[in-house]
Amino acid sequence: MTALADKFLLREIASAALLFLLTRFFVSSLLLRLRSCKLPPGPKGWPVIGALPLLGSMPHVALAKMAKKYGPMMYLKMGTCGMVVASTPDAARAFLKTLDINFSNRPPNAGATHLAYDAQDMVFADYGPRWKLLRKLSNLHMLGGKALEDWAHVRSTELGYMLHAMCECSKRGEPVVVPEMLTYAMANMIGQVILSRRVFVTKGSESNEFKDMVVELMTTAGLFNIGDFIPSIAWMDLQGIEGGMKRLHKKFDALLTKMIDQHSATAHERKGSPDFLDVIMANRDNTGAEKLSLTNIKALLLNLFTAGTDTSSSIIEWSLAEMLKNPSILKRAHEEMDQVIGRHRRLEESDLPKLPYLQAICKETFRKHPSTPLNLPRVSTEACQVNGYYIPKDTRLSVNIWAIGRDPDVWENPLDFTPERFLSGRNAKIDPRGNHFELIPFGAGRRICAGTRMGIVLVEYILGTLVHSFDWKLPDGGADGLNMDEVFGLALQKAVPLSAVVTPRLSASACLWS
């Protein structure tokens, strides 16, 4: 019996050893084949700091120019990190669809650490149970289709307040500063859903400070911070970016703490009718495997208030600026709306499917002025191959959405603002929801912006209402002097905020502010 057992044991050991050697051989062969593949082409860059100095103050533009030289998929050495850049629809599809799961995490960076409560939010969190819970709750109670329908009356009411304020400016002969009006209205829309109250009762210094804070966050979080790419010198904060982030975080944290405290004090008023914050605060008592901390909740509110106001408002501002530069587009939009709606009532959300030209204007703005010029960075979990190129583990991914929207191989006359391109032909069925990689202003794949549906609704409804309700002119009367320069950040801002003179064009019976 003992001899038989020894024989059996020896056979098992031999089999295990053989399996180990075979597995090691095949894994080694696979890694060798991967490593023998070339990295995608790209600029050599400088010693130590790599390609960082090549990006300049407008990285999306610099990377688009590099792509013309090196191709649709580039590899850049950025300090001690590697970064791959996709600049065409096919390259974006390869990463965000074919290899989506391998690129579903975010790399560590100063923005996530200092602004987003050490990545405790939905935007920067790792792809996993907590991220899924944050996304699920947000979709179910605020961002999804049913939730959006439930707070349609809030959008209508807050938009009415904005129209009334714009009419008052018109009576006084004052121009409207478009981004200030939009941020004020959108923050109040989101505040009504999250907190059951308007965040800003009157437009003034408090709302303007909030706008400045949002712009600063979206700008600084989009900067290429040297410390993110050379971690050993991050403590030096050579650009002063991290110090600014810490100061800004304190302001936002104080604002969010105040909101939550005031909300808790009025909980008895919402008994039986919980708002979004009530729902997610209740999750803190969840007995399941995953539950939210107060830090998670603050970080999520930060996401919703900043991204929810800034990205949509920038698209609307760019749309209006393009129409002021191209009066024929504004005229055609007015004609469509007068035919479908008339001038005796306000535009309603149910009108939007009947306004194809307005929807084409929105798509054209998403194409030419995407709110996020470079998608939020992702990072490879494992080494992989893309189109014959080797992509190492821990390589950062950047998709140049701005470059895709201006690719002459994809779009005819891409620098022109031509909404008609979306009314017929091959572009007629393209939409910005992440399925058509020619137009991905919200990204694509698992990490597509959670607010995609809300963003499209807000842009179409608010822009449509502003165009339908008013005639628009520049203060100096001419479009030649309209500044169309950009400022780079997570959101693509106009360098000079749009200021315009508005004149009501609806009948008095339309009751603009009701």
Domain-wise residue ranges, the chain: 50-318+373-409+483-510
Q: Residue 239 to residues 46, 135, 223, 291, 448: CA-CA distances in angstroms? A: 18, 33, 10, 37, 30
Which pLDDT score is estimated for 15? 54
Specify the residue for token string 């929810």. Answer: 308
The pLDDT value given to residue 17? 46
DSSP helix, strand, coil percent of the chain (3-state; round to 5): 55, 10, 35
Q: What percent of the chain has pLDDT over 90?
A: 78
> In this predicted structure, which of 14-18, 92-96, 102-106, 285-289 has the lowest mean pLDDT?
14-18
Whether the per-residue pLDDT at 2 is higher than 70: the answer is no
Q: Tokens 């920067």 sit at which residue?
A: 124
Integer-rounded Cα radius of gyration of the chain: 26
Reported as a single tens digit per residue, the pLDDT across 167-216 is 999 999 999 999 999 999 999 999 999 999 998 877 666 777 888 898 89
Report the sign of the C-alpha dihedral through residues 138, 140, 145, 146, in that order. Answer: negative
Predicted TM-score (pTM) of the model is 0.90
The predicted structure's pLDDT at residue 14: 47
CATH superfamily of 50-318+373-409+483-510: Cytochrome P450 (1.10.630.10)
pLDDT at 479: 73
Buried/exposed code over 460-473 (b: 16+ C-beta within 10 A; e: otherwise): bbbbbbbbbbbebb
Asked which of 15-24, 202-211, 302-311, 414-423 is least confident by mean pLDDT, the reply is 15-24
CB 218 within 8 A of CB 492: no
pLDDT per residue over 121-157, tens digit each?
A: 999 999 999 999 999 999 999 999 999 999 999 999 9
CA distance 514 to 163: 9
| Residue 174: Cβ-neighbour burial (10 angstroms; 0-12, 13-18, 19+) | middle
Predicted confidence at residue 16, as pLDDT, reads 47
What is the predicted pLDDT for the residue at 513?
Answer: 56
Nearest partner of 130 among 140, 119, 139, 141, judged by Cα: 119
- Provide the pLDDT confidence category of residue 442 given band limits of 50, 70 and 90: very high
Mean pLDDT over each residue of the chain, to the nearest integer: 90
